[in-house]
């Protein structure tokens, strides 16, 4: 069994500019005590010599996963043996490699965001041959997606847009034709025009008043203009909104994986089915969107609220890494299929290929 040996290690991470002293071939922190401020400034990019952190090891056994999701193998009797015989996916190491690169660049995530993944494993049932990609993680909330057929007005998305990271598209989309028109096609250009008008006024005020207030307001306005351009006013996003319908996080149960993981041959693809296991329930879902390459454990608000009624665009659903996501590569249904009853039926069939469920009643009906 492949294993990544990082648990409990105290790893020294040299910061940018904290290389060995070329003259002595020693770490500069050993000689920095003898330097003046000018000496440190002239010789190094940073006053930080290193950062010490703990890099976690992937869980590899059913017993480890049961410790944080006790009902897992009770609901799925055949899963325990698959886990014990499975392999840790190389994507687990890749995830933490990317997190470490963030640290090197000076970005320090919260404890929650750094330690959001317990394991990622490639499993295969010994008899049926059914492959499963298992992710053990927490659950943050996404509110993305627009569908003018089901929700034709901008106001229909007021709850979803309460999230600071709302996007009008998801990775899973399907052709809709030219009608009806996505309401955000006009919204973003109009909002951008208004922001630019506000900026012009702020620029005049900042020029007349040399104090900090209007200068800071101008900086904030510039930040929002860049956000607006990136989220919905780019040519690609505008084109996608014209031609496609998307999942609605407020209506459709879907989950998210890092964008780079979709390129791996052993992982599921867009629209593949997923069974989300938490406490005593199994929730059918699909892989509907991609997210940042340094983050796992995200689900639509529709799914998240089933696990925690207080979940919202500003409140995560599950803080612990106690949620199990079972993805079935190659299980995608027909594009644009929003028949939740069919999703459930197919997920039950797929679970049957890995030993079945303890009772059909534990599988949630949307």
pLDDT per position as a tens digit, 208-219: 998 999 999 999
- Of the listed ranges 9-18, 66-75, 184-193, 314-323, the least confidently predicted one is 9-18
Domain residue limits at 7 = 1-56
pLDDT at 140: 97
Report d(CA 290, CA 256) in Å as an integer: 5
Is 157 domain-assigned?
no
Question: Do residue 354 and residue 274 come from a single domain?
Answer: yes
Q: Is the pLDDT of residue 63 over 50?
A: yes
Last residue of a domain, one of 199, 222, 246: 246
pLDDT at 351: 98
Question: Do residue 137 and residue 254 come from a single domain?
Answer: yes
**Predicted confidence (pLDDT) per residue in 150-182, tens digit:** 999 999 999 999 898 899 999 999 998 778 999
Tell me the average pLDDT of the chain: 89
Question: Do residue 256 and residue 352 come from a single domain?
Answer: yes
Q: What is the pTM of this model?
A: 0.88
**Predicted confidence (pLDDT) per residue in 274-312, tens digit:** 999 999 999 999 999 999 999 999 999 999 999 999 999
Q: Is the pLDDT of residue 135 over 60?
A: yes
Per the structure, the count of domains in the chain is: 3
**Predicted confidence (pLDDT) per residue in 10-56, tens digit:** 444 554 444 444 444 455 555 666 788 888 888 777 777 776 788 99
Question: Do residue 27 and residue 52 come from a single domain?
Answer: yes
Average pLDDT over residues 60-83: 97
Question: Do residue 37 and residue 63 come from a single domain?
Answer: no
Question: Do residue 296 and residue 280 come from a single domain?
Answer: yes
Per-residue tokens: 179: 């009608």
Is 159 domain-assigned?
no
Question: Do residue 128 and residue 256 come from a single domain?
Answer: yes
Question: Do residue 130 and residue 256 come from a single domain?
Answer: yes
């Amino acid at each position: 069994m492949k294993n990544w040996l990082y648990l409990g290690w105290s790893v020294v991470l040299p910061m940018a500019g904290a290389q060995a002293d070329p003259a002595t071939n020693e770490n500069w922190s050993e000689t920095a005590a003898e330097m003046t401020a000018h000496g440190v400034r002239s010789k190094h990019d940073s006053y930080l010599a290193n950062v010490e952190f703990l890099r976690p090891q992937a869980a590899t056994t059913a017993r480890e996963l049961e410790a944080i999701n006790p009902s897992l193998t009770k609901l799925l009797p055949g899963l325990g043996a698959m886990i014990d015989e499975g392999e840790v996916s190389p994507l687990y190491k890749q995830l933490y490699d990317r997190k470490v690169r963030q640290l090197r660049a000076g970005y320090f995530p919260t404890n929650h965001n750094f330690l959001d993944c317990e394991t990622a494993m490639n499993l295969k049932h010994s008899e049926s041959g059914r492959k499963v990609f298992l992710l053990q993680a927490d659950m943050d909330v996404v509110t993305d997606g627009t569908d003018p057929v089901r929700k034709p007005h901008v106001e229909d998305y007021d709850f979803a847009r309460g999230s600071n990271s709302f996007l009008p598209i998801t990775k899973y989309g399907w052709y809709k034709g030219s009608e009806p028109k996505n309401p955000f096609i006009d919204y973003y250009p109009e909002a951008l025009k208004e922001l630019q008008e506000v900026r012009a006024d702020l620029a005049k005020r900042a020029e007349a008043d040399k104090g900090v207030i209007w200068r800071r307001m101008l900086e904030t306005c510039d930040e929002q203009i860049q956000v607006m351009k990136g989220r919905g006013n780019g040519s690609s996003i505008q084109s996608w909104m014209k031609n496609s319908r998307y999942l609605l996080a407020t209506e459709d149960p879907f989950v998210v994986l890092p964008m780079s993981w979709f390129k791996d041959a052993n992982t599921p693809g867009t629209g593949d089915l997923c069974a989300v296991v938490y406490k005593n329930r199994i929730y059918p879902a699909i892989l509907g969107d991609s997210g940042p390459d340094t983050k796992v454990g995200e689900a639509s608000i529709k799914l998240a609220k089933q696990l925690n009624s207080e979940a919202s665009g500003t409140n995560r659903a599950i803080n612990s890494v106690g949620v199990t996501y079972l993805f079935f590569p190659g299980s995608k249904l027909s594009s644009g299929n929003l028949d939740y009853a069919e999703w459930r039926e197919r997920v039950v069939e797929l679970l049957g290929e890995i030993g079945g469920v303890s009772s059909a009643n534990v599988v949630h009906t949307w």
